[in-house]
Amino acid sequence: MQKNKVFIETYGCQMNAADTELVYGILQNFNYEIVKEAASADVVLLNTCSIRENAEQRIYGRLGNFKTMKNEKPGLIVGVLGCMAERLRTDLIEEKKIVDIVVGPDEYRRLPELIDIAFNGGKGIGVKLSRTETYDDIIPYREDGLQAWISVTRGCDKFCSFCVVPFTRGRERSRELNSILNEIKLLSERGFREITLLGQNVNSYSDNGSDFADLLDACAVVDNKIRIRFTTSHPRDLSDKLLYTIARHQNICNYIHLPVQSGSDRILELMNRSYNIEHYLKIIEKAREIIPGVSFSTDIISGFPTETEEDHEMTINIMKSIRYDGAYMFKYSPREGTKSFKMLDDVTETIKSRRLQEIIDIQQKISFEKNQELIGKEEIVLVEGLSKKSDLFFAGRTDTNKVVIFPFDSKIKEGSYVKVIINRASSGTLFGAKKVESSKLKVES
Ligand code: 5AD
Ligand code: SF4
């Protein structure tokens, strides 16, 4: 039987990238062939993101392209997966009549059936959210490489007032610890060197009495040549036990993504973030005490309803006092169905843009200065391959997730760890010279 060809275009967060591999895994079990471009596919699926308005607008634009493609290639099936499927099902199918399939994050197992419905001229719709689906038994499709993502929790129960995720991805649930370990074993056998454990709030992981620190602990010992990363941590749930676990294992990266969202307690309260700045700073202090050399990144929203210049200054102050290694910064975007959608979006576009630019500039300066401080220091780098810009250089990453460029050396293989002395730095990249291969995965302090 001839195989149907499927292509998935992925938008949004790493969870979506991991889900795309999961969907490919499901479809491969049903005799689908994965292709690398939409033009050669019989089924094109867009794995979508609803986190901000501009993400959705971009995807609507892309759907317009596929509508044209369908005119030229009747029979082409176009589908929407992910968060937009959950949020905009009627709009996509009934009103705009753009797509044949709409499938939310908890119904991917039904895709083969829903695609069949579409091939027979119907509409394939699956948008129920589940309290239990974790896709534990599905092996995601992954190309060979060094880096892999594994979702350890799905959904979110935090209900931050600005966030659509609890509505599009449903209630929080955890995957079985053993199924995660088995997946890491398979990746280890295939030579993977870095695994990122994913969840909207990984710290609330819970399986049969094991918490997230237990999970990390167990993942770290599967293969001590595999670096373990994780994201995202919520400041409310980050435990001391977790910090000690990171410190204890030389293959758990000294890097914590800990979104602060705002430096103002008043705004944090309106955001329903359930911590204040004092608590947040205590975690940072504790982490620095327990894990010397730990680095932090964050998410910040600019222009949340009622945000004043004073609140904005508080955000700047927190950035300056913590000195993050990196930050993802966004303009507030009202999302229908969330609590803050009912609040007046009263910070004008001009002010939002100006405040966003201010914090971007500040972060850039801090990143640059922090990288300058690394000149003369030794970093342990996982060699990822040749640098994109030149075959004369290798590119790799430190455990704090910084890109390092250093001279090519035919004796060094991709996937090995090397000590590199940093001799130059920009705000985004470190440059250095190799010393020797390293049996350690992070710098000892
Ligand atoms: N507007 C702007 N940014 C948002 N985020 C989530 N929802 C919104 C929104 N409505 C940001 C938060 C979150 C990150 C993933 O996206 O900072 O941590
Ligand atoms: Fe959204 Fe808050 Fe959950 Fe993150 S923790 S996914 S921001 S509701």
Query: Is the Cβ atom of 341 under 6 angstroms away from ligand 1?
Result: no
Model confidence pLDDT, tens digit, residues 102-159: 999 999 999 999 999 999 999 999 999 999 999 999 999 999 999 999 999 999 999 9
CATH match for 5-126 among 3.40.30.10, 2.60.40.10, 3.40.50.150, 3.40.50.12160: 3.40.50.12160
Q: What is the DSSP letter of 389?
A: S
> In this predicted structure, what is the pLDDT of residue 91?
80
**CA-atom Rg of the chain in angstroms:** 23
Q: What angle do CA 94, 98, 103 make, to 5 degrees?
A: 75
The answer, yes or no, to whether the previous bond of 232 is cis (omega within 30 of 0) is: yes
| CA of 335 relative to ligand 1 center, distance in Å | 10
Q: How far is CA 150 from the centre of its chain?
A: 11
Model confidence pLDDT, tens digit, residues 394-430: 999 999 999 999 999 999 999 999 999 999 999 999 9
Element holding 407 (H helix, E strand): strand 403-407
CATH match for 378-438 among 1.10.630.10, 2.60.260.20, 2.40.50.140, 3.40.50.970: 2.40.50.140
d(CA 156, CA 198): 12
> In this predicted structure, what is the pLDDT of residue 439?
78
d(CA 351, CA 60): 27
Model confidence pLDDT, tens digit, residues 292-350: 999 999 999 999 999 999 999 999 999 999 999 999 999 999 999 999 999 999 999 99
How is the chain split into domains, by residue range? 5-126, 147-372, 378-438
> In this predicted structure, what is the pLDDT of residue 351?
98
- Measured in degrees and rounded to the nearest 5, phi and psi for residue 238 equal -80, 115
> In this predicted structure, what is the pLDDT of residue 94?
73
> In this predicted structure, what is the pLDDT of residue 80?
95
Dump strand ranges (E) for 158-281: 173-174, 194-198, 206-207, 210-211, 227-231, 255-257
- Tell me, yes or no, if the two domains 5-126 and 378-438 fold the same way: no
Model confidence pLDDT, tens digit, residues 24-70: 999 999 989 999 999 999 999 999 999 999 999 999 999 989 988 98
Assign 436 a pLDDT band (cuts: 50, 70, 90).
Answer: confident
**Of the bound ligands, which one is closest to the alpha carbon of residue 49?**
1
Largest Cα–Cα distance of the chain, in whole Å? 66
Record the pTM.
0.95
d(CA 421, CA 436): 10
CB atoms within 10 A of CB 210: 16
d(CA 148, CA 183): 10
Model confidence pLDDT, tens digit, residues 328-339: 999 999 999 999
Average pLDDT over residues 364-387: 96
Distances (CA, A) of 100 to 57, 94, 380: 19, 10, 49
Please state, rounded to an integer, the average pLDDT across all residues of the chain: 95
Query: Is the Cβ atom of 315 under 6 angstroms away from ligand 1?
Result: no
d(CA 73, CA 54): 29
Element holding 163 (H helix, E strand): none
| CA of 289 relative to ligand 2 center, distance in Å | 27
CA-closest residue to ligand 2 atom 2: 160
**Of the bound ligands, which one is closest to the alpha carbon of residue 171?**
2
d(CA 429, CA 229): 20
Assigned superfamily of 147-372: tm_1862 like domain (3.80.30.20)
Residue 384 has pLDDT above 90, yes or no: yes
Residue 253 has pLDDT above 80, yes or no: yes
Q: What is the DSSP letter of 137?
A: T
Residue 74 has pLDDT above 80, yes or no: yes
Query: Is the Cβ atom of 374 under 6 angstroms away from ligand 1?
Result: no
Q: Which residues, other chains included, contact 439 with Cβ-Cβ below 8 Å and sequence gap of 6+?
A: 417
Give residues (CB < 6 A) around ligand 2.
156, 158-160, 163, 165-166, 200-201, 234
389 or 196: which leads in pLDDT: 196
Tokens matching residue 34: 């994965």
Q: What is the DSSP letter of 279?
A: H
Nearest atom, ligand 1, residue 259 CA:
18
> In this predicted structure, what is the pLDDT of residue 445?
58
d(CA 24, CA 45): 11
Alpha helices in 373-406 (DSSP H): none
d(CA 29, CA 35): 15
282 or 97: which leads in pLDDT: 282
Helix (H, G, I), strand (E, B) or coil at 419: strand
Average pLDDT over residues 197-216: 97
- According to DSSP, the β-strands at 32-34 and 43-48 are unpaired
> In this predicted structure, what is the pLDDT of residue 444?
65
CA-closest residue to ligand 1 atom 13: 299
**Of the bound ligands, which one is closest to the alpha carbon of residue 347?**
1
CA-closest residue to ligand 2 atom 4: 200
Q: Are 150 and 180 spatial neighbours (Cβ–Cβ below 8 Å)? A: yes
Interhelix angle for 14-28 vs 111-119, to 10°?
70
Q: In the block, which residue shows the tokens 């300058």? A: 372
